[in-house]
A = this chain, B = another copy of it.
Amino acid sequence: MDCFSTEAIVQAMLDFEATLARAQSDVGLIPSGAASSIAAHCKASLLDCDKIVAASSRAGSLAIPLVQQLRAAVATVDKDAARYVHFGATSQDVIDTAVMLATKKSLAMLDSELGRIVFALANLARVHRMTPVLARTLMQAAQVTSFGAKCANWLAPIARSRWALRELKADALRVQLGGAVGTRALLGKNGGEIARLMAERLELTSAPAPWHTQRDRIARMAAELGILAGSLGKVARDVSLMMQSEVAELGQTVDAGRGGSSAMPHKKNPVGAMVAIAASIRAPLRVAAMLSTMSQEHERGLGNWQAELAEWSNLFTTVHGAAHALGDLCSMLTVDDVRMRANVESQRGLVFTEAASQLLANELGKNEADALVQVASRRAVANDSSLAQELRIALAADPMSFGVVDESELAAVFSIDEAASQAAWVIDANLDELAAMRALD
């Protein structure tokens, strides 16, 4: 994703300058001939980008050398027009607007990657509606759920972030136009109309007032990217845990060149999960950096605005990379439902302890039921048998409990399919809520 490459930013800055001149001409602030001359030069290929970059480190921003070059270029063909280059604008106007233009493109690419993930996970959720899989809490086998429910839980936060980014985009991607200190002093009473025209033509949101030091909308979008990275990381983490050799519930279709090992040719590394996990570690710090830059002094900050710019593109690149990698992973994911069931079975029914206790408590009282189940659990492990079997033995042996529990009820408690089916509603509940807020579109 090179939406934020120097070339792309320089062109976006030139788009700002051209649009500014045209809007000023439309409202009669500058001659229309000047606007045409300026716009004709607003092509990155006509400027010396390397020279602009080289000068920017001393000047403190790209804007000053860019405006100088542009003005000089315009002057070669239209001396009068040169004075209207960048007229009434300030460095932050052109840079902030250029960054918003780059962000718009970047968000479109991200939205498309997220669409792939949402589609893949929604599909997995539906297909594996009833597929039993171990539910694990605190990294330990706990009970049984359905793999479809897992997918729905993965999906929902990602779909919400996608939805939230669309909402924020409409609010945050604003043209910046304030002049030197945010008062549009040189633009006079036409300032508002010029800003409105520029927003329309650049397809950005119109800004009733400049937002030079009002960085909350920017920070809110950065935060949403951080949240998204966390949600992508959650999926990647779970997938990587389920792809462990000893768990082996998930795999990925083989693909030349992906995830090989330089020392171990037999390995297939989860590269997609790797990229998403790396992003989920890095993105929170980018967000913190953005938040740390918000105390921008007076009418333009010293250092904090510049730090914000540097973090912004990095954040987008990182999160886009994660979404792309996870999109690939989700599309390539193979589900081993046989192994999922086998992993449940290897728990010897201990994952049904809660339900068994509950069933017995109805007849024996809670304390007795708990005690019975606890003893049977220990025997199941010691005897390499199962909790169900040991419970049957114990119930049969105890005169008090003999016959009190119906065998079909007991079998239901230990039914892996029954347990998975009890999780299926989670899929509907999540997808319905997302659909209602139009987050699945």
Q: Provided the pairs A214-B156, A297-B238, A297-B241 are in contact, do residues A164 and B353 lie with their beta carbons within 8 angstroms?
A: no
A60 engages B259 (CB within 8 Å): yes
B143 engages A180 (CB within 8 Å): yes
Q: Provided the pairs A234-B213, A263-B179 are in contact, do residues A271 and B59 lie with their beta carbons within 8 angstroms?
A: yes
Q: Provided the pairs A282-B307, A298-B135, A426-B209 are in contact, do residues A358 and B186 lie with their beta carbons within 8 angstroms?
A: yes
Cα A286 to Cα B284 in complex, Å, equals 10
A433 engages B276 (CB within 8 Å): no
Q: Provided the pairs A284-B291, A343-B246 are in contact, do residues A214 and B157 lie with their beta carbons within 8 angstroms?
A: yes
Cα A156 to Cα B246 in complex, Å, equals 28
| A47 within 8 A of partner (CB) | no
- Collect the chain B residues with CB atoms within 8 Å of residue A282's CB: 289, 307, 310-311
User: Which B-chain residue is minimally distant from A273 (CB atoms)?
Assistant: B302
A236 engages B135 (CB within 8 Å): no
Looking at A215, A298, A355, A365, the one whose CB has the most chain B CB atoms below 10 A away is: A298
Interface residues of A in 85-116 (CB under 8 A from B): 86, 89-91
Give this chain's copy count: 4
20 A–B pairs (Cβ distance < 8 Å), ordered by A: A60-B258, A90-B262, A136-B299, A137-B180, A138-B270, A139-B297, A141-B246, A143-B185, A179-B263, A209-B425, A216-B231, A219-B226, A223-B223, A233-B294, A246-B346, A265-B374, A274-B303, A277-B304, A282-B307, A284-B287
A233 → chain B closest CB, angstroms:
4
User: Which B-chain residue is minimally distant from A280 (CB atoms)?
Assistant: B295
B257 engages A58 (CB within 8 Å): yes
- Collect the chain B residues with CB atoms within 8 Å of residue A274's CB: 60, 138, 302-303, 306
A343 → chain B closest CB, angstroms:
6
B302 engages A60 (CB within 8 Å): no
Interface string of A326-361 (1 = CB under 8 A from B): 000000000000000001001100110111011001
| A41 within 8 A of partner (CB) | no
User: Which B-chain residue is minimally distant from A283 (CB atoms)?
Assistant: B291
B236 engages A303 (CB within 8 Å): yes
- Collect the chain B residues with CB atoms within 8 Å of residue A24's CB: none
- Collect the chain B residues with CB atoms within 8 Å of residue A243's CB: 139-140
A361 engages B241 (CB within 8 Å): no
- Collect the chain B residues with CB atoms within 8 Å of residue A264's CB: 137, 142-143, 180, 351, 353-354
| A300 within 8 A of partner (CB) | yes
B59 engages A365 (CB within 8 Å): no
Interface residues of A in 118-167 (CB under 8 A from B): 134-145, 149-150, 152-153, 156-157, 160-161, 164
| A293 within 8 A of partner (CB) | yes
B140 engages A244 (CB within 8 Å): yes
User: Which B-chain residue is minimally distant from A318 (CB atoms)?
Assistant: B310
